[in-house]
């Protein structure tokens, strides 16, 4: 369903968006939400 490049895009997209555009701080909560999203998506991945 999702390729590994999709996960990389999601993670780095969030990091760059927050760091470069000062959208919001990279808080611990934001990191936990991002990690949970990636783990959920990986669990739905079809081999």
Task: Return the pLDDT at 9.
Answer: 84
Alpha helices (runs of H) in 1-47, residue ranges in sequence order: 4-21, 28-43
Task: Return the pLDDT at 31.
Answer: 83
Q: How far apart are CA 9 and CA 21, in angstroms?
A: 17
Task: Return the pLDDT at 3.
Answer: 66
Question: pTM score, two decimals?
Answer: 0.59
Strands (DSSP E) contained in the chain are none
Domain chopping of the chain, boundaries: 4-43
pLDDT in tens, the chain (47 residues): 556 677 788 888 888 887 787 766 778 888 898 888 888 877 775 44
Task: Return the pLDDT at 14.
Answer: 81
């Amino acid at each position: 369903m999702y390729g590994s490049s999709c996960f990389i895009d999601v993670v780095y997209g969030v990091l760059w968006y927050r760091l470069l555009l000062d959208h919001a701080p990279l808080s611990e909560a934001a990191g936990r939400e991002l990690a949970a999203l990636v783990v959920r998506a990986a669990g739905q991945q079809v081999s």
